[in-house]
Structure 1
Amino acid sequence: MPDIEFSKKVIAAVDDRTIYFNSVVLPQLLEKYRLIHTCVKNLIEVLVQKSIIKPDPYKLEKKISGVEIIPNEPYLDTERSLVIGTRLSDYEAILDFVCTYYKFSVENTGFNTIKTFVEFNNTFNWHSFTPASSSPNTKGFAILFNEAKTGAPPLTANMMNDNITKCDNTTKEINLLLKELSDFQKEVYKAFVRKDIFDHPKFNSEKAAESIEAEVAEIKKIFPAIANKQPFYTALIEEIAREDLSPNKLELQDKLLKRLEIQNQKTEKKKKKIDSKESLMGAVHALSGLGPQLQTVMEKINENHNLLQAENQTFFDKLAHALRKAFNISEPSVIYTVNITDNTTGTITRQKIDIQLFLNELERRIKFYNSFSLKHLPGYQKIENNPSEKILEFLNKQLAEAQKLLVQITALDSFFKEAGSSETKRAIKGLKMELTTMKNTIVNSNQHRVDYVSLIEEEAQMKKLGIDNE
């Protein structure tokens, strides 16, 4: 008959390891997807900024409800920018869904879902990211990537290379974690059989004890009644029978229980404490993504401002402008009165914005965000060398200022769309896509911050209960 005592040990070990996966391994998986998401957004922003691809006009209308496989069929060279731009946009949108809405858990991430994730991860071959790649997606993206790097400032080129390297290394780490989860799901499946079928009143233990084949046959007989649409995996069922009845069953049982052991629990707890600062710096790094985004915003606002000024200038205004330029005299202030909407209360207030001072502030912030966009930069290291409390204080301030800036840019976008003649309005460049990207960046950074705060609160609560992570 099936080894009941061994079954109890397996079921208990699987339950413990499920908790371990849900609390330790799968949160790590989510963090790695967040890193890839940030890198991909950075790369897309550079391509858009260089006008190599265009923002997907239908992106906001697409409803993502799950992980989907991005097409990888060949395309005409003349369609490369359009096709790769669309596939990149869809890839980033699914990453955003995974990072924001998907619930990583053992219960929610079964064999088929893991397979889909692995296929999705292969959308681009980050390890062999060259124009000679046999993958149409990788080849096309690599060609556009090289175009964007041509003539780019060293800082931008380094950032692009760094993002590709991060995508490569992180995708490998993700696939290893998914392999680990897939292997564990096999034991979850086998534990389900031991728990639900061996205890079933119609399961004939005496007959099952006759041979490995007999136990498999008995399990197969009961399986449809309790499987709830789960497939019957013959290989896994045979493993169960061998663990119960084969001549080397004690060796197989010992190996299985050792595989299910949670190794280095003490080390994992210490690692979690160390990772709290890493999570905090993840928020800082995510926020730096605003740099290239604000660069595009600044250029469009400046163009829109010049359009309005050109429309309203008289001959004498143009003459005065030429003279000021000739004698290096600064331009008089141009003040725009915009409507600021409070997202909490919905109230609208009027605010005056000196456009030149605002553009100067955008330029300052672009340099500021770029100064800590890469881990090896002095700006990043300077922030990282601070105590966690100071970094959190810095981050809270920066997120508040970024949110305020987002509100002002939104107000200016609305102002420019309403100002000027109908001909000028047609030439005005909207900021809808840039505003959405900025909002996502702020949300992503804030999510890292929230994760850090939750982790610190959890540690404090454990100390209150007398549980020491060390």
Structure 2
Amino acid sequence: MKIALISFLLHTIFIMAEIEDYQKQLTEVLEARAAWFEKSELAKLKEEFRTFHTAFAGLYNLFLKKGLIIADVYKNEVKISELEVPETGPFEEGDWKDQYSLRLSNYDNQLDFLVNFYQFSVDFLSMEKIKTILGLVRFIDWTKLSSNSEAPNNKATMEVINQAKAGADPLSASIINEGLSKLSRTTGSILSYLKMLSDYNREAYKGTLRTKVLGSLNPGEASSIPLLKKKIAAEMPGQPFYPELLEEINKENSKAGKALRDKVLKQLVVPEDKSKMEAPQISFKGILIEGLNAIGSSNTSINEIAAKLDENAEFLEGRKNGFWDKLKRVIQQMLNKEPDPTIFDVEYIDPIKGVPIKEKVDFSNFRSEMDRKCRTLIALSSRTGAAFNKMQSMSESQLVVLLEKNIRDIQTMHKILGALDDFFKLEAGREDRDKVKGIKPELATMKNAIVKANQRRHEYSAQKEEEEQLKKLGITSGT
């Protein structure tokens, strides 16, 4: 009896020593895995999402252009603070196209937020956030599109694609085929990255549970679910309780758990770069083109503003209909003389010096410049076709110059448009102010485009600077 007890105690001590050693190894591989994600894999994941969003946007804009879906007039006014998976359930009775169009508009906004504003870091991408991102990726299953699909969004998407393909011109057919191919490929790649992150998070959670919670409990306490929940809330604030992960720990700590522990360590080991070749570079050109796409998107707002300004100018001109105004116009016509230019005296605050600036705006010339700029912006906003191919063929330095110039141009135009908005309202007076078309919503959308374009410009500069610093230290990518 004593020999059996001694044997049991020795075996227990041996197991405890193994578990303690395992926890040390687990901490080390988790730290190495996290560093690997931060150094290379998360940047690759973000780049895959950029490709995914660009491919989807190409299809989405084509569907809009062909009238297969309905434009969401409030799309640019949506403010997103956290990712949310759009509706995936059955369409309500009525016109499914309206509902499907709104879902796609929301989907495009969510992808834009994910790519341009979401934080890609190990600490931020928790299990719950990864679950939401997975839902977003699977909102439409681009790898299994079918008209017979039981998933409403898949079925609706396939129907719209078939309509788009019917009698499609070569360019449209190319956009569809290329877009579907990229969406299918990047879906597989993204899911692979997310699985690695999810696996890491599970083991990191279990590791924290071992060190902060289970280490201070005896076997009896460790089996009490209410006590464990209370302990987790105190030691791991903000973390949910996952009973299935606790069960995994119990199996790993059992007599037969060594194989399970070895499997975990093996799964978390950072893969070696056997080739020692340079890692693929993140496309700096892609970042700049994203910036040009962003500033180019302001063309819609500028077109809408132009129509309102024309109405406002016509309204003010209509008020100048006194005797001397009429006589002046008659004399100019008799002499075949061009009408006097319409000059508006506007005022705005210098954003750098903070002082008021007065400026005379030749309205006719300014409107012509708006129209010319819109044509340029439409080309910059394109994600396919000749304009897009031309941007891809340009060097990084050429793209930087083009991006900076257009940001400056739109910033200047935004400043003058704001001043004109104030001018028209002031000139109309209180009694007629409601007859003047306001442009504040469009100006806000323009501002958002400027902000996004500047974010891409700063991101490019930061990555180039980092690359130069590494070169100075004699370090190349992947070493």
Please state which band the TM-score falls in when normalised by the shorter chain: 0.7 to 0.9
Q: Is 2:30 the partner of 1:14?
A: yes
8 Å CA contact 1:307–1:424 kept in 2: the answer is: no
Aligned-residue offset at 1:334? 1.7
Q: Distance in 1 between matches of 2:160 and 2:301?
A: 19
SS in 1 for 2:428: coil
Judged with a 3 Å threshold, the aligned counterparts in structure 2 of structure 1 residues 70 and 52 are, in CA distance, closer, same or farther, namely: closer
Any residues of structure 2 matched to 1:44-443 within 5 Å, and which?
Answer: 55-56=73-74, 59=77, 64-70=80-86, 74=91, 77=94, 98=114, 102-120=118-136, 174-197=190-213, 200-203=215-218, 217=223, 224-226=230-232, 228=236, 230-243=239-252, 245=254, 247=256, 249-250=258-259, 252-263=260-271, 270-271=278-279, 273-313=281-321, 332-420=340-428, 425-443=433-451
Q: How many residues align?
A: 452
Q: Is 2:446 the partner of 1:445?
A: no
SS in 1 for 2:304: helix
Identity level (%): 29
Q: Distance in 2 between matches of 1:330 and 1:46?
A: 46
Q: State the TM-score, normalizing by the size of structure 1.
A: 0.72
Q: For each residue in 1:95-152, what CA deviation from the matched residue of structure 2 results, as whole angstroms up to 9, or x when unmatched? A: 6665565433332332222223334556667789999998788899999999999xxx
Q: State the TM-score, normalizing by the size of structure 2.
A: 0.71
SS in 2 for 1:296: helix
For residue 401 of structure 2, what is the amino acid of its counterpart? E
Judged with a 3 Å threshold, the aligned counterparts in structure 2 of structure 1 residues 413 and 138 are, in CA distance, closer, same or farther, namely: farther
* Aligned position for 2:8: none
Aligned-residue offset at 1:189? 1.7
8 Å CA contact 2:175–2:384 kept in 1: the answer is: no
SS in 1 for 2:352: coil
Q: Distance in 2 between matches of 1:231 and 1:265?
A: 36
Aligned-residue offset at 1:349? 0.9
Aligned-residue offset at 1:269? 9.1
Q: For each residue in 1:324-359, what CA deviation from the matched residue of structure 2 results, as whole angstroms up to 9, or x when unmatched? A: 8xx9x9765222221122223332211122222222
For residue 305 of structure 1, what is the amino acid of its counterpart? A
Extract unaligned runs of 5+ from structure 1: 205-213
* Aligned position for 2:3: none
Aligned-residue offset at 1:162? 8.4
SS in 2 for 1:349: strand
Aligned-residue offset at 1:381? 3.3
Judged with a 3 Å threshold, the aligned counterparts in structure 2 of structure 1 residues 376 and 40 are, in CA distance, closer, same or farther, namely: closer
Q: Distance in 1 between matches of 2:172 and 2:436?
A: 28
Q: Distance in 2 between matches of 1:158 and 1:363?
A: 30
8 Å CA contact 1:339–1:350 kept in 2: the answer is: yes
For residue 239 of structure 1, what is the amino acid of its counterpart? E
8 Å CA contact 1:43–1:163 kept in 2: the answer is: no
CA RMSD of aligned residues (A): 5.2
Q: Distance in 1 between matches of 2:393 and 2:76?
A: 43
8 Å CA contact 1:56–1:89 kept in 2: the answer is: no
Q: Distance in 1 between matches of 2:138 and 2:172?
A: 26
8 Å CA contact 1:47–1:145 kept in 2: the answer is: no
Q: Distance in 2 between matches of 1:411 and 1:201?
A: 67
For residue 103 of structure 1, what is the amino acid of its counterpart? Q
Judged with a 3 Å threshold, the aligned counterparts in structure 2 of structure 1 residues 378 and 216 are, in CA distance, closer, same or farther, namely: same
Q: Distance in 1 between matches of 2:289 and 2:182?
A: 16
Which deviates more, 38-47 or 179-188?
A: 38-47
Aligned-residue offset at 1:255? 3.9
For residue 452 of structure 1, what is the amino acid of its counterpart? Y
Aligned-residue offset at 1:244? 5.1
8 Å CA contact 2:143–2:187 kept in 1: the answer is: no
Aligned-residue offset at 1:281? 2.7
Which structure has the greater CA radius of gyration?
2
Extract unaligned runs of 5+ from structure 2: 1-14
Which deviates more, 377-386 or 392-401?
A: 377-386
Aligned-residue offset at 1:445? 1.5
